[in-house]
Amino acid sequence: MKNFSTVVTRAACAALVACAFAGPVQAAECSFKPNVPDQHRVVKGDTLWDISGAFLEHPWCWPQVWGMNREEIRNPHWIYPGQIVYFDRARGRLSLNKPGSGDDGSDAPLLRLSPQVRSEGLERGAIDAIPAGAIEPYLTQPLVIEQDALASAPRIAASQEGHLYLGTGDRVYVRGGLQGATEFQVFRPGTALKDPQTGAVLAYEAAYVGTVKLVKAAGPGVDVHTMTVSSSVSEMGVGDRLIPTPPPAVRNYVPHAPQANIDARVMSIYSGVTYAGQSQVVTVNRGSIDGLDVGSVLQLYHFGKTVADPEGNKGFFGLKRATMKLPDEQYGSLFIFRVFGRVSYGLIMQVTAPVEVGDVAKSPE
């Protein structure tokens, strides 16, 4: 089992400024650490989450202390190794301009991480908001397939010369609607993901097996589309399903409190393990229809158990023994990086205990 850190690992990248919501959901108080440093020099390997945690008690309060509004949060802001992030104690803000240098302005917000337009090469050198390597496979592969998508997904119905298993360059015949797409990811449905609260099947885990490309759409009197295998990571076969290749994922991750009050549960842990720790991926039973979006931050709790009350009745003569409900115990945070209708992927940012299926994930308090 992993060694679970008991401290915020130089946590936090951001949260929507509370007034940006103008709704019932209130962001948790954003405060600086008691011994906050005057500055932090950005080094290769840092993330925005790391840098924020060097200054802030709450890992996701970045936009508040940079004075960001909702529109600015949606745009990419780049920070590069070698730059220095300063803490302006007089104004309670962070800045790339040294306090007292005359560059911060008396009226303008201190946020100006960088110009909005940079060359692609410079952007490639910018630090990530969160550990990008941990989530990359979950951005490009359909590892969760919701029921509606599974029911309507085209399927490999036959193969060239009856090949049992298929590889790159092989021809396949696909039956089902293509929705105008010409390139597809191929997956194999797996374990059902059940809502821990209701028991309903919300989606299925899917094994990604490769990609195919349309050669010729089905014509009059023909029931199948002709395709070729573009790539494969494992053998394809008849019965495997297709989903249109998604557009490149948005990687401008800015953590924030969700706009709606979220009370979710951890549904599954990837990598076939019972417990999860920092930088591992889990699914939760809430999605876009519930108010989650990319960048939402949830707090993780162990569900409070119901235990016997030692001062209650002793259960004599058939009487029910008195019990009491313990509070949920908060032990970490979860960063939502990919959202479906009723299911979302979350990256565990830091925890003081193992994450288990059924644990509570809800809006910051």
pLDDT at 251: 60
Q: How high is the pLDDT of residue 112?
A: 38
Residue with more model confidence, 183 or 121: 183
Residue among 96, 5, 11 nearest 47 (CA): 11
Give the whole-number percent of the chain exceeding pLDDT 70.
76
Burial class of residue 180, CB neighbours in 10 A (0-12, 13-18, 19+): exposed
pLDDT tens by residue, 183-206: 999 999 888 889 988 999 999 888
Name the token pair of 166: 């298929």
Q: How far apart are CA 126 and CA 5, in angstroms?
A: 27
Radius of gyration of the chain (CA): 24
Rounded Cα distance, 348 and 138, in Å: 14
Q: What's the whole-model pTM score?
A: 0.70
* pLDDT reading at 84 higher than 80: yes
Which of 28-42, 151-165, 243-257 is predicted with the least confidence, judged by mean pLDDT? 243-257
Instruction: State mean pLDDT over 119-131.
Output: 59
Instruction: Determine contact, residues 212/235, Cβ cutoff 8 Å.
Output: no
DSSP 114: S
63: left (phi over 0), alpha (psi -120 to 50) or beta: alpha
Mean pLDDT estimate for the chain: 77
CA distance 128 to 252: 8
> So what's the pLDDT on residue 102?
61
Side by side, the strands of the sheet bearing 84-88 are: 39-41, 84-88, 93-95
Q: Between 122 and 206, whose confidence is greater?
A: 206
Question: Which secondary structure element, helix H or strand E, spans residue 50, and what is its range?
Answer: helix 48-55
Provide CB contacts within 8 A for 288, sequence distance 6+: 339, 340, 341
Which architecture, in CATH terms, is 263-362?
Beta Barrel (2.40)
Closest alpha carbon to 93 in 7, 8, 17: 17
Q: What is the pLDDT of residue 124?
A: 60
Joined together, the tokens standing for residue 88 give: 């302006």
Domain boundaries, the chain: 18-135, 143-244, 263-362
CB 66 within 8 A of CB 110: yes
- CA–CA distance, 56 with 32 (Å, rounded to integer): 4
Three-class SS of residue 83? Answer: coil
More confident residue, 113 or 295: 295
pLDDT in tens, 287-318: 999 999 988 999 999 988 888 888 766 555 55
Task: Report, in this order, helix, strand and coil percent for the chain, each rounded to 5.
Answer: 15, 35, 55
Average pLDDT over residues 201-214: 91
Q: What is the mean pLDDT of residues 213-218?
A: 96
Q: Collapsing DSSP states into helix, strand and coil, what is residue 184?
A: strand
**In which band, very low, low, confident or very high, does the pLDDT at 156 lie, cut at 50, 70 and 90?**
very high
Q: What is the pLDDT of residue 353?
A: 93
Looking at residue 299, its pLDDT comes to 93
Over residues 14-31, mean pLDDT: 38
What pLDDT score was predicted for residue 290?
A: 94
For 58-80, write each residue's pLDDT tens digit: 767 766 666 555 454 445 457 78
Q: Which two tokens stand for residue 30?
A: 């954003």
* Whether the predicted pLDDT of 37 surpasses 80: yes
CB 103 within 8 A of CB 95: no
